[in-house]
């Protein structure tokens, strides 16, 4: 690309100025009378190229920046953000935040994170591996990926395309207690989505790979091949009759169960009494064999971070051990509301994972015997207040440990509290692509609604 | 020049020293390659939000975003770049990057005679953020909270939020058409949690539209949301397990129209149909609903959340009939997909912001009223479910399978609404669900202004609506089988 080098050099200049910008914001906040302040500045840039049916479809050049500030006047706060880094815009943003703070109620839980919780040393987690593939190379990889998917079978006649995307970014967080942390990261991905068709209709499925280091992306042809095979195996899907049955969540969707757990354990939902796991600390919420942990410092992992969005040091810990809930997921504010300490979870979890069991997916299918394998979920039928769970599902009926036929247009329902207690086994087929990692999960009994 | 265009020029272009000749130079840079069509999308967006919990307004934020999206289209190929700096050098860079999608050798030396695009006048060009003193915004939320607590002693928590957006957009197209729009948008939301004998349930209500904050004071609109949220939460305290299986379902009027958005709306968007990836592809002229069903997408309703004077490609929105008496009549189009399918844009080209590419999106999607009294519809059901309110929904465009999740529902037994049931997801098949609509009510209602639609990672405000409907056979995803 003729403009490539220009884009890069621009961003490099901005990157080097981010700490100065954060400093400027903190000083400005102080000048405008704030007793404390925090600011986060970020810049990012990237390229995304899509190919569909062998032809280039879109090429997108991304370049973003953002500055967010929160000011404190004692125990009152206000926030503002802007995408304009000019000094006057920055000053206006601080003024807007200060103006909001004036109208806020006094709340003694409001404030910066406790200074002794801030990250003292910032470990290098190896999260920054710029790639800069260039448009031609990105297109060629996407084309190779989609070709592999289209070659899987003659019934793969249509496609939503394959996309290569590469992104790099820098976040600088600082606060008026002297904390300044910088976090450069990269994220590269390759995805492919194709459509299989027969007399009965069309079925779409996809596969993707994502990595901090482009060298660790799954092979393009392999991704295409998986996407093709996954679409193909859904052909001929039918409804099931309504029944109670054991269910296996295939690894890529099993992580959603952990995300519902994280949501129920988030400090914000707890102090608002909006969680079905209120008052469950030290209680058994899973069977004995379940261990769920957070490992924020894994090298190169997608969910790794040395500090959270308040500058608090992240730490590895067990969230659930021997089935018993060990702690909640708290930021400073929710921790103070609950009379507890922050757990370094401002902004969410970092590499949350369930300890894998001994079996792969085939082993889990045999362990289940007869039941439902869910490979895709749709809809938002999860109530965090009550734990009531009801979502649309697609997958396969399993008979005697073997996949029998594809199913669709059914729902799977239960209550998350019961589903957690009935977690029979976790597979060792761990999906490491996301911030939440899980192998396939077998739940003892749920309700399937269909015909 | 329209008022909006003049204001847009003053606030977006003039500070950067961009006049007609600079615009011509930018379009020229885009057309220096073999590009069929190109556009620039200038945007300035100011957003504020105030939120209350535990009887106090404790958080508030103010955000400003601005930038320009630059797009070049050559046949089916799209090149796109954007910049959050509105200035000639940054825009020339973006134009160069976007135009490389096409082969070099276009006619770069263009001479354009700019003309003003047509625009509707559906809402006032006001800035809602300044329509109310900040102290009054805080007081409004406090009043909403007090109203909720006044309803019932079982109310444990009240969370209320108020948000406003002031947005100025300007579209500069390579065919010389200049258009602009000034878009206000406000929203108030209330969530309550009630508790009885250790059981906690939630109720949610809210609304808004393209006007200023005064709307929430008129007819006690905001206080009405508080009462409605409490009412729903209290109903849910008594809810029993929902049934599982396929049964007769009656949907209430208004927001349950999310059925139409998911079951048919997305599947009728032009991009999926141009590519042949929708379950509705190639089905224009076919029966996809019962004769009682006429469904439209109408971006031209005054003051509505989903309405737009022009879409994000400068095309005025319109009232598009999607299904007429059960027959599929038309898809929703943006310029790219319309051109490739040999039709014209229906004014459905929308984008989340300058940093996103436009695509065909819905505006306000609803079904026209039928002839039945809603009471008559319920009385006609011997054994089924009445779903009065919903959370969100989702659809698989290709297979046509869609879901939407009830947040307030009841059993219908022998023609009467009896016990409330727990929220459950309803699942169906888009191309045939409306063929099972056996009764359409005379009580058409639009939603209160709460919808946000997500597609390929882009969110845009939308509306839905419908009269009461009876569907003979929809799968209810409860836990009570048999």
The secondary structure of residue B131, as a DSSP letter, is S
Confidence of residue B109 (pLDDT cuts 50, 70, 90): low
- Give residue A407's domain range: 243-449
* Same domain? A211 vs A259: no
Residues within 8 A of A (CB atoms), B 3-32 only: none
Read off the DSSP letter of residue B12: I
% of chain A residues with pLDDT over 90: 95
pLDDT for A13 beyond 90:
no
SS3 B123: coil
Question: How far is the C-alpha of B465 from the C-alpha of A209, rounded, in Å?
Answer: 39
A38 close to B (CB below 8 A): no
For chain A, say whether B357 makes contact (Cβ under 8 Å).
Answer: yes
How close does chain B come to A438, measured CA to CA in Å? Answer: 24
Which of A184, A200, A232 terminates a domain? The answer is A232
SS3 readout for chain B: CCHHHHHHHHHHHHHHCCCHHHHHHHHHHHCCECCCEEEEEEEEEEEEEEEEECCEEEEEEEEEEEEEEEEEEECCEEEEEEECCCCHHHHHHHHHHHHCCCCECCCCCCCCCCEECCCCCCCCCCCHHHCCCHHHHHHHHHHHHHHHHHHCCCEEEEEEEEEEEEEEEEEEECCCEEEEEEEEEEEEEEEEEEEECCEEEEEEEEEEECCCHHHHCHHHHHHHHHHHHHHHHHHHHCCECCEEEEEEEEECCCHHHHHHHHHHHHHHEHHHHHCCCCCCCCCCCCECCCCCCCEEEECCCCCCCCCCCECCCCCECCEEEEEECCEECCCECCHHHHHHHCCCCCCCEECCCCCCCCEECCCEEEECCCCECHHHHHHCCCEEEEEEEEEEEEECCCCCEEEEEEEEEEEEECCEEEEEECCCEEEEEHHHHHHHEEEEECCCEECCCCEEEEECCEEEEEEEEECCEEEEEEEEECCECC
Distance CA A130, CA B368 (A): 54
A62 close contact with B: CB closer than 8 A: yes
Radius of gyration for chain A, computed over Cα atoms and rounded to the nearest angstrom: 24
Chain B from 200 to 219: CB within 8 A of any A CB: 200-202
A180 and A258 together in one domain? no
Report percent pLDDT > 70 for chain A.
96
Work out the minimum CA distance from B371 to partner chain A, whole angstroms. 30
- Chain A residues with CB under 8 Å of B63 CB are 80-82
Whole-prediction pTM: 0.96
Bridge partners of residue B297, in order along the sequence: B320, B365
Q: Is the pLDDT of residue A2 over 50?
A: no
pLDDT (0 to 100) of residue B292: 98
Q: Are residues A293 and A321 in the same domain?
A: yes
Residue B110 pLDDT grade (very low, low, confident, very high; cuts 50, 70, 90): confident
Q: How confident is the model over B219-267, as pLDDT tens digits? A: 999 999 999 999 999 999 999 999 999 999 999 999 999 999 999 999 9
* Best A146, A200, A449, A450 residue to mutate vs chain B (most B CBs within 10 Å): A449
A381–B391: do the CB atoms touch at under 8 Å? yes
Is A237 contained in some domain? no
Q: Do B200 and A386 touch (CB under 8 A)?
A: yes
**Angstroms from A181 CA to nearest CA on chain B:** 23
Res. A235: pLDDT tops 50 = yes
CB-based contact, B424 to chain A, within 8 Å: yes
A97-114 pLDDT, tens digit per residue, is: 999 999 999 999 999 999
Q: Give the pair of three-digit tokens for residue B301.
A: 């309703």
* Residue in A65, A78, A201 nearest the CB of B84: A65
A438 shares its domain with A399: yes
- A23 and A119 in a common domain: yes
SS3 B53: strand
A220 shares its domain with A282 = no
Assess whether A227 and A321 both reside in one domain: no
In a 10 Å sphere around its CB, with 0-12 CB exposed, 13-18 middle and 19+ buried, how is residue B243 labelled? buried
Q: Are residues A171 and A227 in the same domain?
A: yes
> Least CB-CB distance to A61: which of B59, B97, B478?
B97
The lowest-confidence range among A334-348, B40-54, B88-102 is B88-102
pLDDT of A1 over the 60 cut: no
Among the partner-chain residues B78, B245, B400, the one whose CB lies closest to the CB of A449 is B245
Nearest CA in chain B to A200: B399
Check whether residue A270 and residue A193 sit in a common domain: no
Across the interface, which of B82, B393, B397 has its CB nearest the CB of A379?
B393
Q: Establish if A107 touches chain B: CB-CB under 8 angstroms.
A: yes
| Strand runs labelled E in A238-378 | 243-249, 292-294, 317-321, 324-325, 352-354, 371-378
Nearest partner of B285 among B323, B320, B318, judged by Cα: B323
Domain stops at, among A232, A251, A272: A232
Task: Return the closest-CA partner of residue B394 out of B233, B249, B275, B265.
Answer: B265
Calpha distance B241→B231 (Å, rounded): 19
Alpha carbons B124 and A250: distance in angstroms, whole number: 51
**Does any domain span residue A238?**
no
Q: Looking at the domain assignment, is residue A391 inside a domain?
A: yes
What is the tens place of the pLDDT at every residue in B121-148?
A: 999 999 999 999 999 999 999 999 999 9
Give CA–CA dist B170/B7, Å, rounded.
10
Kindly give the interhelix angle for B88-99 and B20-30, rounded to the nearest 10 degrees. 20
pLDDT digits (tens, 9 = 90+) for A169-212: 999 999 999 999 999 999 999 999 999 999 999 999 999 999 99
Helix (H) or strand (E) holding B357: none
Residue B20 CA to residue B437 CA, distance in Å, equals: 54
- Of A143-157, A397-411, B98-112, minimum mean pLDDT range: B98-112
Do A16 and A116 reside in the same domain of the chain?
A: yes
Distance (Å) from the C-alpha of residue A358 to the closest C-alpha of chain B?
Answer: 31
Distance, in Å, from the CA atom of B313 to the CA atom of B293, rounded to the nearest integer, reads 30
* Tens of pLDDT, residues B176-198: 999 999 999 999 999 999 999 99
Per-residue pLDDT tens over the stretch A345-359: 999 999 999 999 999
Indicate whether A224 and A345 sit together in one domain.
Answer: no
Count: domains in chain A: 2
Q: Which of B76, B134, B279 sits opposite A55 (nearest CB)?
A: B76
Smallest Cα–Cα separation from B210: which of B255, B164, B254, B144? B164
Instruction: Indicate whether A3 pLDDT > 70.
Output: no
Which of B 275-304 lie inside 8 A of A, CB atoms? 275-277, 279
Position A184 in a domain: yes
Backbone dihedral region for residue B25 (phi beyond 0: left; psi -120 to 50: alpha; all else: beta): alpha
Q: What is the pLDDT of residue B108?
A: 62
At A8 the pLDDT is 39
Tell me: do A182 and A279 sit in the same domain. Answer: no
Chain A residues with beta carbon closer than 8 angstroms to that of B138: 103
Nearest Cα neighbor of B351 from B43, B125, B4 is B43
Here the ipTM equals: 0.95
> pLDDT per residue over A26-44, tens digit each?
999 999 999 999 999 999 9
B118 touches chain A (CB under 8 A): no
**Residue B401 pLDDT > 70:** yes
Is A381 inside any structural domain?
Answer: yes
Tokens 């859904």, residue?
A234
Domain annotation covers residue A278? yes
| Min distance A317 CA to chain B CA atoms (Å) | 30
Q: Which of B156, B399, B477 sits opposite A411 (nearest CB)?
A: B477
Cβ distance of A204 and B396 shorter than 8 Å: yes
Closest Cβ opposite residue B157 in set A272, A409, A415: A272
The predicted pLDDT at position A15 comes to: 58
Does a structural domain hold residue A91?
yes
| β-sheet bridge partners, residue A108 | none
Chain B residue with Cα closest to A446: B479
Backbone angles phi, psi at A122, to 5 degrees: -110, 105
Tell the residue number behind the tokens 């700096």, with chain if given. Answer: B85
- Amino acid B106: pLDDT: 67
Whether A404 contacts chain B with CB within 8 A? no
CB B264 within 8 A of CB A186: no
CATH number at residue A87: 3.30.2290.10
* Domain C-terminal end among A179, A208, A232: A232
A25 part of a folded domain: yes
Which letter does DSSP use for residue A291 in this model? -
DSSP B150: H
């Amino acid at each position: 690309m003729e403009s490539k080098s220009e884009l890069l050099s621009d961003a490099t200049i901005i990157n080097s100025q981010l700490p100065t910008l954060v400093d400027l914001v903190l000083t400005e906040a102080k000048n405008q009378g704030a007793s404390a302040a925090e600011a986060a500045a970020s810049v990012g840039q990237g390229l995304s190229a899509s190919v569909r049916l062998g032809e280039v479809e879109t090429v997108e050049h991304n370049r973003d920046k953002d500055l967010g500030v929160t000011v404190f006047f004692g125990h009152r706060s206000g926030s503002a953000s802007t995408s304009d880094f000019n000094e006057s815009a920055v000053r206006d943003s601080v003024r807007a935040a200060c103006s909001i703070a004036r109208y806020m109620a006094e709340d003694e839980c409001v404030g910066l994170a406790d200074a002794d919780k801030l990250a003292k040393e910032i470990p290098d987690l190896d999260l920054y591996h710029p790639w800069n593939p260039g448009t031609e190379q990105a297109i060629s990889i996407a084309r190779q990926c989609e070709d592999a998917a289209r070659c899987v079978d003659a019934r793969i006649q249509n496609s939503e395309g394959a996309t290569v995307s590469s992104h790099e970014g820098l976040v600088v967080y600082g606060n008026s207690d002297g904390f300044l942390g910088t976090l450069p990261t990269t994220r590269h991905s390759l995805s492919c989505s194709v459509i299989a068709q027969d007399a009965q209709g069309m079925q779409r499925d996809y596969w993707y790979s994502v990595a901090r280091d482009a060298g660790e992306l799954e092979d393009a042809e392999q991704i295409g091949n998986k996407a093709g095979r996954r679409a193909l195996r859904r052909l001929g899907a039918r409804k099931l009759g309504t029944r109670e049955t054991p269910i296996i969540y295939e690894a890529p969707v099993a992580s959603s169960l952990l995300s519902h757990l994280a949501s129920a354990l988030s400090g914000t939902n707890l102090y608002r009494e909006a969680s079905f796991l209120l008052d469950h600390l030290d209680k058994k919420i899973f069977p004995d064999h379940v261990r769920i942990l957070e490992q924020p410092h894994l090298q190169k992992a997608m969910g790794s971070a040395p500090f959270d969005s308040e500058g608090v040091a992240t730490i590895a810990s067990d969230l659930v051990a021997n089935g018993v809930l060990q702690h909640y997921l708290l930021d400073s504010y929710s921790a103070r509301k609950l009379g507890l300490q922050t757990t370094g979870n401002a902004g969410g979890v970092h590499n949350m994972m369930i300890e894998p069991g001994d079996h792969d997916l085939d082993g889990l299918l045999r362990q289940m015997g007869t039941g439902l394998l869910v490979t895709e979920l749709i809809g938002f039928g999860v109530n965090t207040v009550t734990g009531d769970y009801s979502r649309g599902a697609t997958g396969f009926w399993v008979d005697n440990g073997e996949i029998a036929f594809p199913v669709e247009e059914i729902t799977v329902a239960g209550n998350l509290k019961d589903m957690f207690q009935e977690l029979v086994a976790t597979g060792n087929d761990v999906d490491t692509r996301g911030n939440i990692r899980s192998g396939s999960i077998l739940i003892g009994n749920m309700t399937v609604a269909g015909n | 020049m329209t008022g909006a265009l003049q204001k847009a020029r003053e606030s977006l272009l003039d500070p950067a020293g961009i006049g007609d000749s600079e615009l011509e130079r930018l379009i020229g840079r885009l057309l220096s390659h073999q590009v069929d069509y190109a556009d620039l999308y200038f945007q300035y967006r100011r957003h504020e939000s105030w939120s209350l919990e535990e009887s106090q307004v404790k958080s508030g934020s103010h955000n400003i975003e601005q930038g320009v999206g630059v797009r070049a289209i050559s046949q089916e190929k799209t090149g796109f770049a954007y910049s959050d700096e509105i200035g000639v050098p940054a825009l020339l860079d973006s134009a160069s990057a976007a135009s490389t999608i096409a082969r070099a050798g276009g006619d770069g030396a263009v001479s354009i005679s700019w003309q003003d695009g047509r625009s509707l006048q559906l809402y006032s060009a006001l800035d809602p953020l300044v329509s109310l003193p900040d102290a009054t915004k805080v007081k409004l939320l406090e009043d909403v909270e007090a109203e909720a607590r006044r309803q019932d002693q079982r109310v444990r928590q009240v969370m209320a939020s108020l948000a406003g957006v002031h947005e100025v957009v300007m579209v500069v197209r390579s065919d010389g058409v200049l258009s602009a729009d000034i878009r206000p948008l406000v929203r108030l939301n209330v969530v309550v949690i009630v508790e009885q004998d250790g059981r906690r349930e939630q109720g949610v209500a809210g609304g808004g539209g393209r006007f200023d904050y005064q709307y929430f004071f008129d007819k006690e609109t905001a206080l009405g949301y508080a009462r409605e949220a409490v009412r729903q939460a209290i109903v849910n305290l008594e809810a029993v397990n929902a049934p599982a299986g396929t049964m007769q379902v009656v949907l209430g009027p208004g927001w349950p129209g999310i059925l139409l958005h998911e079951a048919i709306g997305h599947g009728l968007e032009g991009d999926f149909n141009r590519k042949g990836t929708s379950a509705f592809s190639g089905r224009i002229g076919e029966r996809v609903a019962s004769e009682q069903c006429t469904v439209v997408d109408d971006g031209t309703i005054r003051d509505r959340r989903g309405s737009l004077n022009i879409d994000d490609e400068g095309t005025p929105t319109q009232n598009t009939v999607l299904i007429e008496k059960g027959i599929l009549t038309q898809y929703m189009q943006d310029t790219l997909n319309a051109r490739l399918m040999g039709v014209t844009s229906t004014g459905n080209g929308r984008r989340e912001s300058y940093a996103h590419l436009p695509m065909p999106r819905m505006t306000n999607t609803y079904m026209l009223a039928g002839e039945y009294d809603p009471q008559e519809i319920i009385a006609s059901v011997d054994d089924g479910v009445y779903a009065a309110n919903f959370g969100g929904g989702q659809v698989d465009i290709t297979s046509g399978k869609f879901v939407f999740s009830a947040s307030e529902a009841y059993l219908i037994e022998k023609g009467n609404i009896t016990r409330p049931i727990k929220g459950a997801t309803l699942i169906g098949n888009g191309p045939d669900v409306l063929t099972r609509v056996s009764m359409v009510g005379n009580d058409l209602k639009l939603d209160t202004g709460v919808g946000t639609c997500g597609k390929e990672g882009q969110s845009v405000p939308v509306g839905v609506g419908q009269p009461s409907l009876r569907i003979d056979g929809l799968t209810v995803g409860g836990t009570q089988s048999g």
